[in-house]
């Protein structure tokens, strides 16, 4: 029988005939080298790899700080944002791409800056929609094992090393989320926001889920949570399920602009030449 991979080796709960659990096969030097090689290819992997030497842990911590500082400096002046999430895999002729482009244009027309993960697909569509109407468009890209370059419809972008820093910044500058059809990353952002709202870490802000034919299972899952008393009715009050751009915009007006007293047309804070800060200019 082939030796199981390093991460699949779990103790067999069934004792051997003598009553003693069978010993695990030893980890080979080759497997150790392969694991080390995997961890060293990306900073995020090394950070999440378990205990490191103390100086390396400090260096990794400083990398997290650099990610945050870079994001703070770049995004401080972008104005109130609405973030659009969705899959990077939809081409421009896909109906969901078209919907996201229309949504981006409508958000920008309200005076918000359209923020995305900065990549292709739905992200590109929303940023492109903002530029269609002369609006502001920004992206927070992420370094991945495969190359993901930023899309060409951004006035400003930041490339992050760490997913958790990126998630924090996407929420920090947003006054609403629009969730288009997507995969694990889209779900990660949605449930991060819901958790922060539920636990009072952030004030309730509007969440619009678009793609009703794509998400019936998720909607039913949330209803099951509600009926099972693991969440409260108010936890879902600010989620709007719709395929209508007009309905989504009305929801953002009521639950973002009115609720937070936003005056989006006033723009962003003034930059400081002493700190080498640059204002936000659209192309």
Kindly state the tokens that stand for 152: 């060409």
Average pLDDT in the 258-283 region? 64
Which of the following CATH numbers is that of domain 66-262: 3.60.15.10, 3.40.50.300, 3.40.50.450, 3.40.190.10? 3.40.50.450
How does pLDDT run across 225-248, given as a tens digit for each residue? 999 999 999 888 889 999 999 999
CA 19 from centre of chain: 49
Secondary structure (3-state) at 63: helix
pLDDT in tens, 60-113: 999 999 999 999 999 998 989 999 999 999 999 999 999 999 999 999 999 999
DSSP one-letter string for 65-93: HHHHHHHHHHHTTS-SEEEEE--S---TT
Q: Would you state the pLDDT for residue 261?
A: 74
* Inter-residue contact 210 to 182 (CB < 8 Å): no
Q: Burial letters for 44-55: b for 16+ Cβ neighbours within 10 Å, e otherwise?
A: bebbeeeeeeee
Q: What is the DSSP letter of 52?
A: -
For residues 43 and 48, what is the distance between their CA atoms, to the nearest angstrom?
9
* Strands (E) located in the chain: 81-85, 113-116, 137-142, 156-160, 174-179, 207-210, 239-242
In the chain, the N- to C-terminal Cα span, in Å, equals: 62
Q: Identify the pLDDT of residue 36.
A: 67
pTM of the model: 0.81
């Amino acid at each position: 029988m082939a030796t199981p991979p390093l991460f699949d080796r779990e103790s067999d709960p069934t004792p051997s005939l003598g009553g003693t659990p069978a010993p695990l096969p030893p980890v080979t030097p080759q497997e150790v080298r392969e694991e080390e090689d995997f961890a060293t290819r990306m900073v995020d992997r090394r950070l999440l790899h378990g205990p490191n030497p103390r100086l390396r842990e400090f260096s990794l911590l400083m990398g997290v700080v650099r990610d945050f500082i870079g994001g703070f400096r770049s995004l401080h002046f972008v104005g109130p944002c609405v973030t659009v999430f969705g899959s990077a895999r939809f081409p421009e002729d896909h109906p969901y791409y078209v919907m996201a482009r229309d949504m981006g244009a409508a958000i920008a027309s309200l005076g918000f800056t359209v923020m995305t993960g900065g990549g292709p697909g739905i992200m590109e569509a929303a940023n492109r929609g903002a530029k269609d109407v002369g609006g502001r468009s920004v992206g927070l890209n992420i370094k991945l094992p495969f190359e993901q370059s930023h899309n060409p419809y951004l006035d400003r972008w930041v490339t992050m090393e760490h997913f958790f820093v990126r998630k924090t910044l996407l929420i920090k500058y947003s006054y609403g989320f629009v969730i288009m059809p997507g995969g694990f990353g889209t779900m990660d952002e949605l449930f991060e926001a819901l958790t922060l709202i539920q636990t009072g870490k952030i004030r309730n802000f509007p969440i619009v889920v678009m793609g009703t034919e794509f998400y019936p299972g998720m909607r039913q899952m949330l209803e099951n949570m509600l009926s099972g008393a693991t969440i409260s009715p108010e936890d879902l009050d600010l989620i709007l399920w719709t395929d209508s751009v007009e309905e989504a915009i009305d929801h953002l007006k009521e639950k973002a602009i009115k609720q937070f007293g936003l005056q989006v047309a006033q723009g962003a804070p003034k930059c400081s030449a002493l700190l080498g800060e640059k204002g936000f200019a659209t192309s």
